[in-house]
């Protein structure tokens, strides 16, 4: 096989790829932020004394964890408008990714919460804090630090999932790569560069997350 590599065509549109990368990062950050709130809420739901609440949280988690993310994206974007809920492409994708990550993060937070010694909560109560203040000041901060590595992994895989937004024409990295591919016919070069950008971005994110982890880690 002799193939003449020509990166010039891809190079010309490199700024598009970078803007796509930027949008992907924003999508991931916003989604995981909302997903964290959903996950935290449902994790406490999973551990609730009230059966219906536990049940509702469990249904949520198994429903969204067992549906392929692409199906969820298409469902939110194409089916919800039929039901009268109209969202823009980007909003629709963020909602999907937030709801989806919420299901995974519920499990992360739940296991983090059950790993805490019960005495931690009780110590909070004995100094006169209410249940909710004990959660905010003690259990959640300690749990959060413990699950930080898992949270980081989730963020990276969520960031990679933003490539699926191309399916509904959200202009992120994969979307632009496909556009460049179609316009220039430089198939190999385009997808090589796109893959490389993903790898590089993920490595940098991982490094940043490790920094945050060690910054927040509890001294011992």
Partner 1 sequence: MTAPVLEITNLHKSFGKVEVLKGINLTMQSGDVVSLIGSSGSGKTTLLRCVNLLEDYEDGVVAVAGEQIGYTQRNGRRIRLKEKEIARQRAMTGMVFQHFNLFPHMSAIRNVMLGLIKTRKMRNDEAYATAEGWLDRVGMKDRKNHYPGQLSGGQQQRVAIARAIAMNPALMLFDEVTSALDPELISEVLAVVKDLAFDGMTMLLVTHEMQFAHDVSDTVVFMQDGRIGEEGPPDQLFHSPKSERLKAFLKSSKF
Q: Which is closer to partner 1, CB of 140 or CB of 164?
A: 140
Closest distance to partner 1 from the beta carbon of 127 (Å): 3
| Non-local CB neighbours of 21 within 8 Å, separated by 6+ positions | 172, 173, 197, 201
Q: Does 115 bind partner 1 (CB under 8 A)?
A: no
User: Given the rule CB under 8 A, which of 18-26, 75-83, 88-96, 120-128 is the region that contacts partner 1?
Assistant: 120-128
Binding mask 130-169 for partner 1 (x = CB under 8 A): xx-x---xx--xx--x------------------------
Q: Which is closer to partner 1, CB of 12 or CB of 133?
A: 133
Q: Which is closer to partner 1, CB of 131 or CB of 183?
A: 131
Closest distance to partner 1 from the beta carbon of 33 (Å): 21
Tokens of 47: 């551990």
Number of residues that bind partner 1 (CB under 8 A): 22
Q: Which residues within the stretch 190-219 sit at the binding site for partner 1 (CB under 8 A)?
A: 218-219
Q: Does 8 bind partner 1 (CB under 8 A)?
A: no
| Non-local CB neighbours of 46 within 8 Å, separated by 6+ positions | 54, 57, 58, 61, 106, 110
For partner 1, which residue of 56, 80, 129, 167 counts as binding (CB under 8 A)? 129
Closest distance to partner 1 from the beta carbon of 38 (Å): 24
Site for partner 1, rule CB under 8 A: 117, 119-120, 122-131, 133, 137-138, 141-142, 145, 218-220
């Amino acid at each position: 096989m002799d193939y003449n590599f020509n990166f010039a065509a891809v190079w010309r549109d490199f700024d598009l790829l970078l803007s796509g990368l930027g949008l992907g990062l924003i999508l991931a950050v916003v989604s995981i932020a909302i997903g964290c709130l959903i996950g935290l809420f449902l994790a406490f739901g999973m551990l609730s004394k009230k059966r219906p609440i536990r049940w509702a949280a469990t249904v949520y988690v198994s429903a969204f964890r067992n549906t392929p993310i692409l199906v969820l994206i298409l469902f939110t974007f194409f089916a919800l408008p039929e039901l009268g809920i109209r969202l823009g492409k980007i909003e629709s994708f963020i909602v999907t990714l937030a709801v989806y990550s919420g299901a995974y993060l519920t499990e992360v937070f739940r296991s983090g919460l059950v790993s805490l010694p019960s005495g931690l909560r009780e110590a909070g109560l004995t100094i006169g804090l209410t249940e909710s203040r004990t959660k905010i000041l003690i259990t959640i901060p300690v749990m959060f630090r413990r699950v930080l590595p898992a949270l980081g992994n989730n963020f990276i895989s969520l960031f990679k999932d933003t490539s699926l937004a191309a399916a509904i024409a959200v202009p992120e990295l994969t979307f632009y790569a496909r556009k460049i591919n179609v316009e220039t016919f430089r198939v190999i070069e385009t997808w090589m560069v796109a893959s490389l950008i993903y790898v590089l971005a993920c490595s940098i994110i991982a490094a940043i997350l490790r920094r945050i982890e060690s910054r927040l880690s509890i001294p011992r």
